[in-house]
A and B are shown apart, each in its own frame.
Chain A
Amino acid sequence: MDRPIRVLVAKPGLDGHDRGAKVIARALRDAGMEVIYTGLRQTPEQIVSAAIQEDVECIAMSILSGAHNTLLPKVVEILQKEGVDDILVLGGGVIPDEDIPFLKEKGIKEIFTPGTPTSKTIEFIRNNIKR
């Protein structure tokens, strides 16, 4: 049996909705992945600590609060500070198109805006994790 891909699904920021995060968590599970679900209101520090302990291959963050330009790059920054360079970092949620180039430049490998079919995210993870 192939070992399952391990993904941390997190919801950084202060807004109180995790529907989007739950939808993606279920889709990844149904695609045979092991999803570590951490729930609402995660700080970047908590996300990175959890990702390290869980030894995940991907961090998928869903964000609606508008704070994506600070929170997402912060996660990448802390990962780098910890010397972690083998985790794929993805973002999703309500993120305006004009912010995407900046986020990618900061090391978020892909951004999935609302309406993206989950199959696309699944395929991206399968093709881009380091194995």
Chain B
Amino acid sequence: MDLGARLLNGEKRAVARLITMIENNEKEAVNILKKYYNKTGKAHVIGITGPPGAGKSTLTDKLIKQLRKEGKTIGVIAIDPTSPFTGGSILGDRVRMNELSTDPGVFIRSMGTRGQLGGLSKATQGAVKILDIYGVDYIFIETVGVGQSEVDIAKNADTTLMVMVPGLGDDIQAIKAGIMEIGDVFAINKADRDGAKRTATEIEIMLDFNKTDRRPPVQKVIAIENKGIDELIVHIKEHMNYLKETGQLHKKRIKNSKLEIVDLIQQKMMNMILDRSSKEEIVDKLAKDVALRKLDPYSAGEKILEEIK
């Protein structure tokens, strides 16, 4: 049986291998996704983002355990940064989800950001499709809410869960500025600590400024004590209902599809240009000339584009 058929057949090893192949940009995996694309779009995709150590993985573990009680099946993509210096990474999100490893209704995959241009979102979106074809009801994507590409990934989900913690102090200012708009549901985790109420109030005040017809709920939770999890799941489900009832789900998916197509074109173009101009060497050489002011960057770009004409 080929990989695509094994995927449809619900084989975890096929899921795992296909994700590897899509991460490594292998054509065969892309062909399988082309073939089965019409089977995607059923899962509720939830992006979980927030500062490092906020308890995103712990919370994901608890949300999954609750959804499992309802008989739902789950896929997880947990993304951690790759070291820009060595290209290596330690992906540690599984530590918080170990009990789920042997659950037949759960599939967890860790991913490094690997630092390629646009590669991360392509790999993540590929993995989401693979899990969707495999047939899970919910797909969680955990990313650290710091880098732009990570935030973009969370934004592409149906529902974005922003995880905050008490005592972020001034940090919250920076986080608030860019990220507040993308949260569909807010969780204040570690509500066992001092200042949870204040953080919740601060977020509520920020939300007062948002002029949207739906106000995101702010839920206090204590992930390690399994508190507030049921309520959070209700908020997540309500968001999906809202998207469906208002027709926004369809709109959102059109927008995301457009972004994905444009992304793919950009990547293909980049590869084409870099391939034709004998890889990055020419770019590197031109970059040197530009740095030395022997050439300007505008002409350098035009020069490279000339080559593929």
Contacts and interface: CB of A to CB of B under 8 A. Distances in A.
7 contacts: A29-B90, A30-B83, A35-B89, A36-B94, A37-B90, A46-B101, A53-B15
Contact of A38 (B20, B89, B95, B107): B95
B87 A4 contact: yes
Given A31-B86, A55-B16, A46 B98 contact: yes
A54 B107 CA distance: 9
Interface residues of A, number: 31
A33 to B, nearest CB: 5
Interface string A18-58: 00000001101111111111110011011001101111000
B90 A31 contact: no
Interface of A: 1, 3-4, 6, 25-26, 28-39, 42-43, 45-46, 49-50, 52-55, 82-84
Interface string B19-49: 1100110000000000000000000000000
Interface in B38-91: 82-83, 86-91
Nearest to B15: A53
B87 A37 contact: no
The residue in A29, A36, A46 that gathers the most chain B C-beta atoms within 10 A of its C-beta is A36
A29 B86 contact: yes
Contacts of B112: 4, 34
A99 B101 CA distance: 30
Nearest to B23: A3
Contacts of A38: 94-95, 98, 101
B227 interface: no
A36 B88 CA distance: 11
B92 interface: yes
B27 to A, nearest CB: 15
B24 A55 contact: no
Given A29-B88, A37-B90, A45-B102, 8 more contacts: A1-B87, A4-B89, A33-B88, A34-B82, A34-B91, A38-B94, A53-B12, A54-B94
Nearest to A57: B20
Contact of A32 (B12, B87, B90, B98): B87
Given A1-B116, A31-B86, A36-B91, A53 B16 contact: yes
B256 interface: no
Contacts of A42: 98
Nearest to B88: A29
A39 B116 contact: no
A26 B112 CA distance: 15
A82 B86 CA distance: 33
A116 B169 CA distance: 45
Given A1-B116, A39-B95, A29 B89 contact: yes
Given A3-B24, A34-B112, A46 B102 contact: yes
Nearest to B103: A49
A34 B269 CA distance: 28
B109 A31 contact: no
B98 A36 contact: no
A52 B98 contact: no
Contact of B12 (A31, A34, A46, A52): A52
B58 to A, nearest CB: 13
A54 B95 contact: no
A19 to B, nearest CB: 14
Contact of B110 (A32, A36, A82, A84): A36
Interface string B97-116: 01001100001111010101
